[in-house]
Structure 1
Amino acid sequence: MTTTSAAPVMEIDGAPATAETLAPVLAGYGHFTAMQVRGGRVRGAALHAARLDAASRELFGTGMDGGRFRGLVRHALASAGRADASVRVNVFQPKEAPGAPVCALVTVGPPAAMEQGPYRLKSVSYQRPVAHLKHVGGFGQGYHVRRAAAEGCQEALLTGPDGLIAEGAVTNIGFVEGGTVVWPAAPMLRGITLQVMERELTAAGVPQTGRPVRLADVGGYDGAFVLNSRGMAVVRAIDTTAVPVDAELLTRIRALYDAAPWDAF
């Protein structure tokens, strides 16, 4: 049976999720990837598969096959009757033993898009634990996003010692310096959309570099942007520091993002 209602469809290894099969997911140890699907396609499908496999090996001592990942997402999309959707794949281990098999919870809901910018960001002194993994348990991120929203900001900017900029609570951030894109060098998650943009910028011949960026440096950049699976937005301010929004490179980055290919599952 298929449905196109707003209610999410949840499957574990291709079967409808139940209270019993969901119980291990609620234990709070695991990892996930999130994506937007349009026309049954996703940006960076191979990158999502590689993320799930690498994180599964690190956390559980066993991999997550890319073909299995793709098949489970295709099945859940068909069950939901959706070609356009928000999809989240949570990987967990029902039996807590090194190398024991892992399971995947696939959740399919209505498609979503990032709120249009320009954004104002609120910096917070917080860094995600084990930042290179997209792990579950994002209370700290959620807390800071809500606090930022209460102050009229669209995102929280996570920083470390001496104001070292790492990432947004639910985004990656990049800066523009003349004709070059600067990615912060700090403990962070290398998001799939960031990796897609790195690929597209390289193909377009746009220079990129990674280096430490601190809050005190923000005023010296020609622009900034945030991105995740839901989209891209230009940044107009970080705390009380205004950031230019009219850099030519920002327009080019937007065009490259919009033109990035969508991959079949």
Structure 2
Amino acid sequence: MQYHVDGELVPADEATVSVRDRGFRYGDAAFETVRAYGGEVFEWSAHLDRLHRTCETLGIDHGVSDADLRVRVQEVLDANGLDDAAVRLSITRGDRPGTLTPGPAADPTVVVVAEELPRGGVEGTPVWDDPAALQTVKTRKPADAALPADAKTHSYLNGVLARNELTDGDEALLRGPDGHVAQGAASNLFFVDDRGLHTPSEELPVLPGVTRSVVSDLVRSETDVPLHAGRYDPADVREADEAFLTNTRWEVRPVATVDGIEVGGGPVTQLLTMLFDRLVERRHY
């Protein structure tokens, strides 16, 4: 495998960053994980917009053009002969010795790595092996004023702590400071009841996922299922008729159980999975 490090393709075992890099030392870095289908990146503009927002929030002026970032992603795909892959693009504030204070703009570190995934679309194979077992954990999402929820940074300790709590599940369900359901450790949540489809409001500390947005658009444009964004308790999810999670790698992943209580998939989950697969097939294959 070859990865991109600061503008150059290098063998994976030579793809390193400095121990003084602020992304390593402080989590002072932005990143996006994008999905490639058929050799092309899915929803690049949406991922790029979120990367811009994160860098603006962190105050990182990386100086690399959007076109150059796109070229680096494509070069990693091409160099490794990957048509279907997960590609992670990271931008750190760079190698800066000294204190926690960021200081003036530094030479940023830009890294692009990739991992082969199964084909997507109508004829594709899901990345996940089984529907998710979701477990409510004690770890909370921090308030937006403490750590901006819409910034996708290397600071993932919150998710690590949540996943460490798991005893009967493979994805953690986190609540916000007020106790309302926010999201999974690395996913967004949807659930269905007799009033329609629900997802936690972005007024809560929720990372606005790109796949979450695509699925929401499909609901509005391709179905007559009412979509609600609100504040919910874990009991609302446990008592749901069906539930599913979304992220770039998983796409649409059904939830089998919530806190050991069977929920399972259903017609809405199946419909949205089909619509998502058809969208990918139409665009990329």
TM-score (norm 1): 0.84
For the residue of structure 2 that corresponds to 1:261, the secondary structure is: helix
**In the alignment, which residue of structure 2 is the partner of 1:26?**
24
**CA-to-partner distance for each residue in 1:211-257, whole Å, 9 max, x for gaps?**
001113224432110111112221122114332533x2122111122
Once the two structures are superposed, residues 137-156 of structure 1 have per-residue CA deviations (whole angstroms, 9 ceiling, x without a partner) of 212312322431xx241211
Question: Partner of 2:196 in structure 1?
Answer: 180
Please report how far the alpha carbon of residue 50 of structure 1 lies from its aligned counterpart in structure 2 after TM superposition.
0.7
Cα distance in 1 for residues equivalent to 2:186 and 2:131? 16
Q: 1:174 to 1:202 in 2, by over 3 A?
A: same
Is 1:60–1:100's contact at 8 Å kept on the other side of the alignment?
no
Paired residues of 1:119 and 1:233 also in contact (CA < 8 A)? yes
Matched residue count: 254
8 Å Cα contact 2:33/2:86 also seen in 1: yes
1:165 CA displacement: 0.5
* Counterpart code for 2:72: L
1:78 and 1:118 mapped to 2: Cα distance?
Answer: 32
The correspondence of residues 46-195 of structure 1 with structure 2, limited to 5 A, is 46-62=45-61, 65-94=65-94, 96-97=102-103, 102-111=108-117, 113-125=126-138, 126-128=140-142, 129-148=147-166, 151-161=167-177, 163-178=179-194, 180-185=196-201, 186-195=204-213
Give distance in 2, aligned partners of 1:221 and 1:203.
23
Structure 2 residues without counterparts, runs of 5 or longer: 97-101, 119-125
Hey, what's the Cα distance between the residues in 2 that align with 1:164 and 1:124?
12
Note closer, same or farther for the CA distance 1:195–1:98 as it changes in structure 2 (3 Å cut): farther
1:234 equivalent in alignment to 2:254 = yes
Q: Which amino acid aligns with 1:192?
A: V
1:25-63 Cα offsets, whole Å, 9 max, x none, are 423211111122222123211111111111112212537
Alignment-mate amino acid for residue 207 of structure 2: L
Alpha-carbon contact 1:43-1:260 (below 8 Å) kept: no
Q: CA RMSD in A?
A: 2.6
Question: Is residue 2:279 matched to residue 1:260?
Answer: yes
For 2:155 and 2:208, locate their aligned partners in 1 and report how far apart those are by CA, in whole Å: 18
Partner Cα distance (2:218, 2:53) in 1: 23
Name whichever of 164-173 and 181-190 sits farther off: 181-190
Determine the C-alpha separation between the residues in 1 that align with 2:227 and 2:104.
39
- Report the CA distance shift for 1:201/1:19 in structure 2 as closer, same or farther (over 3 A): same
TM-score under structure 2 normalisation? 0.78
Q: Is the 8 A contact 2:200 2:231 kept in 1?
A: yes
* Matched residue type, 1:184: P
5+ long unaligned stretches in structure 1: 4-8
Q: Contact (CA 8 Å) 1:173, 1:225: kept in 2 or not?
A: yes
Q: Which amino acid aligns with 1:199?
A: D
1:81-117, Cα deviation, whole Å (9 max, x unpaired): 3222221011112264455564421012222653243
